[in-house]
Amino acid sequence: MSRTFYVTTPIYYVNDVPHIGHAYTTLAADVIARYKRLKGNEVFFLTGTDEHGQKVEKAANAAGETPLELADRVVKRFQALWEKLDVSYTDFIRTTQERHKNGVSHLFAQVLAQGDIYLGEYEDWYCTPCETFWTETQLIDYKCPDCNRPTEKLKEESYFFRMSKYQEQLLAHIEANPDFIQPKSKRNEIIAFVKEGLRDLSISRTSFKWGIPVPGNERHVIYVWFDALANYITALGYPDQSGNFGKFWPVDAHLIGKDILRFHAVYWPTFLMAAGLPLPRKVFAHGWWTVEGQKMSKSLQNVVEPNMLIDKYGADAVRYFLLREVPFGLDGDFSHTALVHRINSDLANDLGNLLNRSTAMINKYFDGIVQTPGPLSALDQAYRAKTEAMVTQVDAHLDELAFSKALQAIWEVISAGNKYIDESAPWALAKDPAQHERLGTIMYCSLESQRIIYHLLAAFMPKTATKALSYLSWDAPPTEAGLKWGGLATGTKITKAEPLFPRIEEGTRD
RNA sequence: GGCGGUGUAGCUCAGCUGGUUAGAGCACACGGCUCAUAUCCGUGUUGUCCGGGGUUCGAGUCCCUGCACCGCCA
């Protein structure tokens, strides 16, 4: 009965340190993974690191260490960050692991054996000092874009993948599956790109050593993207069908940044076609974050360091902000004022305050004990219906990875919850003993709606949800059954809540 | 240069197959409540819906054109 769900982030290149962009993709994957688990799916959530390639080799040399030593160091930083952000990944793959190298070799050998990989010559502009090939369009005045020194046209022996062979098949698949590549604007770009014609792809290098050797020809190292993309199946144990690979492939969603869409929407599917494997169900390219209106870059020194944000605002606030502020798929701007604003108005005023006022009242009026609700008035029923509708809406939005819409739908009910209290005015009823049952019913509806809200929010803000639910004496982990109205039992002891998100005074920022 | 997209209140954006007085959130102003983290609720202001032309009984919504910005490709 249990369905499976497989979601991935890209594997992050160890030549870079974690920044807000990495955190964004990973958090999105975490939210969907947590939600699918709550819905009863068996979830496989994969993230990891890409550790091969010339840049890593050179950076390691420069630092006087081996590439693997460099990778070990950076991997720890990623893993520490994910822990800090409460990222619930199932597996963390490193491309230097044996399981991965074996899988990649197998994939390469198989495609080679069937004739879709052939040995040829790769010709492009080469910068000798940098030991790097550039395409003509990358050159600046025929000079190396990295070091500005002259380049020369050079030939290198290389293995090629017959990508051209799969052009029509890929196009047909994209057109037959409207949700395969998302968002739609990106899908159009890929269709246009494929229609212009796919050329065979160079998938090996002889100019450096730090990578997986081509089976049967150790002078060649497998091209970094062929190596990296395969992580999505090697982590499942490919080519062994008996375990996770048979169980979880094809993947339900590859979440990626828009800069690597072509690799995931063109290269990867054609590799899979050649290998006779099913294609991913969905590839979703999200947007970029600018920072205070400016493009993030090392030279501007405005790269947002997630650790600093978490220390300052807390993991859940960061998680909420990133997924609420911008529709998944569009670019967004990160700013401290926007973040503080979201914390104060959405989290402190709307969400937190609702929990506070309701838990305070039930303690004041009923010593914190949940009463058996009487008949629901029209007002109560409308509120309940809105809460129930939210559960369906959130489910639909999350199916489309529309995180921000899902949160909006939740916040509509939070707003309705504040309004509900206002309109039913419990403090007035409390003065009239004859209204005792009515008062208990209102408390019930308010808290029950919130209990369901925190079940949904558990995917987005796990710590906050756990804490809020504990005030409602709900200590079990959130489940799908918990999304149904009526879960709050008569006699439950409600604790008066401490503020979940204290307001942040504007202007106290550094 | 080719293909695609965008241009709607101060800000960020919704507005599907054209149909009465163009919406939401935030911000701002005023009013109300007091259970609550000076929180919550209500009301209200601002829009040549980028410019121009056209189709139509009727267009933010379709067509043409101009401008601006963005993306992909070259």
With CA atoms as reference, report the closest residue to A95 among A206, A208, A233, A255.
A233
Provide the angle, in degrees to the nearest 10, between the axes of the packed helices A20-38 and A315-325: 90
Three-class DSSP category at A351: helix
Least confident of A69-83, A160-174, A285-299, A343-357: A285-299
CA A435 – CA A232 distance, rounded (Å): 60
pLDDT of residue A264: 97
Confidence of residue A137 (pLDDT cuts 50, 70, 90): low
Confidence of residue A114 (pLDDT cuts 50, 70, 90): very high
Confidence of residue A509 (pLDDT cuts 50, 70, 90): very low
Mean pLDDT of A436-460: 97
Q: Above 60 in pLDDT, residue A452?
A: yes
Query: H-type helices in A326-402, by residue range?
Result: 336-342, 353-366, 378-399
Mean pLDDT of A208-235: 95
Least confident of A254-258, A304-308, A338-342: A304-308
Residues whose CB falls within 8 Å of the CB of residue A254, separated by 6 or more in sequence, listed in order: A8, A10, A232, A264, A280, A282, A283, A284
Long-range contacts of A276-279 (CB under 8 A, 24+ apart): A277/A233, A277/A249, A277/A250, A278/A249, A278/A250, A279/A173, A279/A180, A279/A250
pLDDT of residue A125: 76
pTM: 0.94
Residues whose CB falls within 8 Å of the CB of residue A113, separated by 6 or more in sequence, listed in order: none
Phi and psi at A241, nearest 5°, equal -80, -15
Residue A350, CB, strand B, below 7 Å? yes
First to last CA, chain A: 52
Confidence of residue A138 (pLDDT cuts 50, 70, 90): low
Nucleotide nearest to A503 (CA to C1'): B37
In chain A, % helix, strand, coil (3-state, to 5) comes to 50, 15, 35
Residue A414, CB, strand B, below 7 Å? no
Structure tokens at A204: 């090996």
Residue A408, CB, strand B, below 7 Å? no
With CA atoms as reference, report the closest residue to A201 among A174, A234, A224, A170.
A224
Whole-number percent of chain A with pLDDT over 90: 83
The partner residues of A356 in beta bridges, in order of sequence, read none
The amino acid that residue A69 corresponds to is E
Nucleotide nearest to A419 (CA to C1'): B41
Residues whose CB falls within 8 Å of the CB of residue A53, separated by 6 or more in sequence, listed in order: A13, A15, A208, A210, A211, A224
Three-class DSSP category at A431: coil
Residue A382, CB, strand B, below 7 Å? no
**Cis peptide upstream of residue A239 (ω within 30 degrees of 0):** yes
CA A226 – CA A112 distance, rounded (Å): 13
Nucleotide nearest to A365 (CA to C1'): B35
Residue A142, CB, strand B, below 7 Å? no
Confidence of residue A123 (pLDDT cuts 50, 70, 90): confident
Mean pLDDT of A455-471: 97
pLDDT of residue A122: 82
Could you tell me where the beta strands, DSSP code E, fall in A196-302? Answer: 201-202, 204-205, 213-214, 217-222, 253-257, 283-286, 289-291, 294-295
CA A186 – CA A288 distance, rounded (Å): 13
Confidence of residue A50 (pLDDT cuts 50, 70, 90): very high
Radius of gyration (Cα) for chain A, nearest Å? 27
Nucleotide nearest to A496 (CA to C1'): B36
E strand or H helix that includes residue A46: strand A42-50
Mean pLDDT of A396-418: 94
Residue A345, CB, strand B, below 7 Å? yes
Mean pLDDT of A431-460: 97
pLDDT of residue A146: 65
In eight-state DSSP terms, residue A500 is S
Confidence of residue A151 (pLDDT cuts 50, 70, 90): confident
Q: Distance in angstroms, CA of A112 to C1' of B13?
A: 50
Nucleotide nearest to A498 (CA to C1'): B37
How many angstroms separate the Cα of A228 from the Cα of each of A96, A175, A214, A425?
Answer: 10, 26, 14, 59
DSSP, residue by residue, A155-220: EEEEEEE-GGGGHHHHHHHHHH-TTSEESHHHHHHHHHHHHT-PPPEE-EESS--SSPEETTEEEE
pLDDT of residue A340: 93
Neighbour-count burial of A437, counting CB atoms closer than 10 A to its CB (0-12 exposed, 13-18 middle, 19+ buried):
middle
Torsion sign (Cα): A293, A297, A300, A306: positive
pLDDT of residue A126: 74
Q: Distance in angstroms, CA of A261 to C1' of B13?
A: 26
Whole-number percent of chain A with pLDDT over 70: 95
Nucleotides of B under 7 A from a protein CB: 2-5, 13-14, 26-27, 32-42, 71-74
Mean pLDDT of A438-455: 98
Using one digit for the tens of pLDDT, what is the confidence trace for A174-188?
A: 999 989 999 988 999
**Selected residue with higher pLDDT from A199 and A139:** A199
pLDDT of residue A16: 84
Task: Using a 7 Å CB cutoff, list residues 41-60 of A near strand B.
Answer: none
Are the beta carbons of A156 and A202 closer than 8 angstroms?
no
Q: Distance in angstroms, CA of A325 to C1' of B14?
A: 15
pLDDT of residue A129: 66
At the topology level, CATH places domain A336-483 in: Isoleucyl-tRNA Synthetase; Domain 1 (1.10.730)
Q: Above 80 in pLDDT, residue A498?
A: yes
Residue A337, CB, strand B, below 7 Å? no
**Selected residue with higher pLDDT from A299 and A58:** A58
Q: Above 90 in pLDDT, residue A99?
A: yes
Nucleotide nearest to A427 (CA to C1'): B35
Least confident of A116-120, A147-151, A157-161, A500-504: A147-151
Q: Above 60 in pLDDT, residue A1?
A: no
Q: Above 80 in pLDDT, residue A220?
A: yes
Structure tokens at A145: 């874009």
Phi and psi at A393, nearest 5°, equal -65, -45
Mean pLDDT across chain A: 92
Domain ranges for chain A: 336-483
Nucleotide nearest to A189 (CA to C1'): B72
